[in-house]
């Protein structure tokens, strides 16, 4: 039986390189390709590949976030692909998870395939899932979150401590930082900002809203399964059903 492979990388040439190398081995069958993390999650769930070549640095969702979203127990065998991230490389080595450091040659690629075959056998007794979970925990523990932001507004530069932010809202190609009575626009996405903030201090309650947990005064049931979030300054925000479970899990 052939090993079903999904290739995930935001660089078309990188996907082409893996595709060309896999054609040399008839025991592998390419079942799909993806250029971003969000699509990768869908393809992993729909196509159920045996092996995924997973890029780490990608827009929207990186490789680690893809793994966390799919779930360690549901993730297939993974060969990580990266261009730098030295810490991650050490984590992979410690937990015996394979990776390809760009640019890689044919010999290194074939070595990774051999290890993938071994890991596919290992997965049967749950050892692979255990190693993957430990690696994700280790990498996540080393993540450094922002403690201040530098914001330029009307020719002035503001140094804003993240603890001073009350809430953050989406504003087109920007995010709006609400600090006391002031509002500052920063060119970023909600997802990007969410990843930069400490999840023990900030939580997303809506696709367009992130809240400082210390500034929440009250939560009330609202319409259609949504909740009304009231802040210390009496600002009222909506918590959507999609993010309600995440909020419950946190507490």
- Asked whether 54 and 79 are in contact (CB, 8 A), the reply is yes
Maximum CA extent, the chain: 64
Helix, strand counts (H, E) of the chain: 8, 15
157 and 102 together in one domain:
no
Give the strand order in the sheet containing 209-212: 182-186, 174-179, 165-171, 209-212, 202-206
What is the pTM (predicted TM-score) of this model? 0.55
Predicted confidence (pLDDT) at residue 85 exceeds the cutoff of 60:
no
Residue-range definition of the domain harbouring residue 19:
3-141
* CATH code (residue 34): 3.40.50.2300
Predicted confidence (pLDDT) at residue 95 exceeds the cutoff of 70:
no
68 and 100 together in one domain:
yes
Cα(73)–Cα(37) distance, integer angstroms: 18
Separation of CA 97 from chain center? 18
Say which residues have a Cβ less than 8 Å from residue 103's Cβ, sequence separation at least 6: none
46 and 116 together in one domain:
yes
Among 141, 175, 191, the domain-final residue is: 141
Say which residues have a Cβ less than 8 Å from residue 193's Cβ, sequence separation at least 6: 168, 175, 186, 210
Q: What pLDDT, on a 0 to 100 scale, did the predictor assign at position 87?
A: 47
Which residue did the predictor score with more confidence, 58 or 162? 162
Q: What pLDDT, on a 0 to 100 scale, did the predictor assign at position 35?
A: 92
pLDDT band at 219 (very low <50, low <70, confident <90, very high): very high
Query: Each residue of 110-153: pLDDT tens digit?
Result: 999 988 887 787 665 566 677 777 777 766 665 567 788 878 77
32 and 110 together in one domain:
yes
27 and 133 together in one domain:
yes
């Amino acid at each position: 039986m052939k090993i079903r492979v999904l290739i995930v990388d935001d660089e078309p040439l990188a996907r082409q390189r893996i595709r060309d190398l896999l054609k040399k081995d008839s025991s592998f069958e390419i079942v799909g390709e993806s250029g971003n993390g969000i699509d990768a999650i869908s393809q992993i769930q729909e196509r159920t590949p045996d092996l995924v070549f997973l890029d780490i640095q990608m827009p929207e969702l990186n490789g680690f976030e893809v793994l966390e979203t799919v779930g360690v127990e549901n993730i297939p065998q993974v060969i990580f692909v990266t261009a730098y991230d030295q810490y991650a490389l050490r984590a992979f080595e410690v937990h015996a998870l394979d990776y390809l450091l760009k640019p890689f040659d044919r010999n290194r690629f074939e070595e990774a395939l051999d290890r993938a075959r071994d890991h596919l056998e290992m997965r049967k007794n749950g050892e692979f899932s255990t190693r993957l979970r430990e690696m994700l925990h280790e990498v996540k523990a080393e993540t450094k979150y922002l403690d201040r932001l530098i914001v330029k507004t009307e020719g002035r530069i503001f140094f804003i401590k993240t603890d001073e932010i009350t809430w953050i809202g989406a504003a087109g190609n920007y995010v709006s930082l609400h600090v006391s009575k002031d509002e500052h626009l920063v060119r970023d996405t909600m997802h990007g900002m969410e990843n930069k903030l400490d999840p023990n201090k900030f939580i997303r309650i809506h696709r367009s809203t992130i809240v400082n947990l210390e500034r929440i005064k009250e939560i009330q049931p609202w319409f259609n399964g949504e909740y009304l979030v009231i802040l210390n300054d009496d600002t009222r925000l909506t918590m959507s059903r999609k993010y309600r479970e995440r909020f419950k899990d946190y507490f």
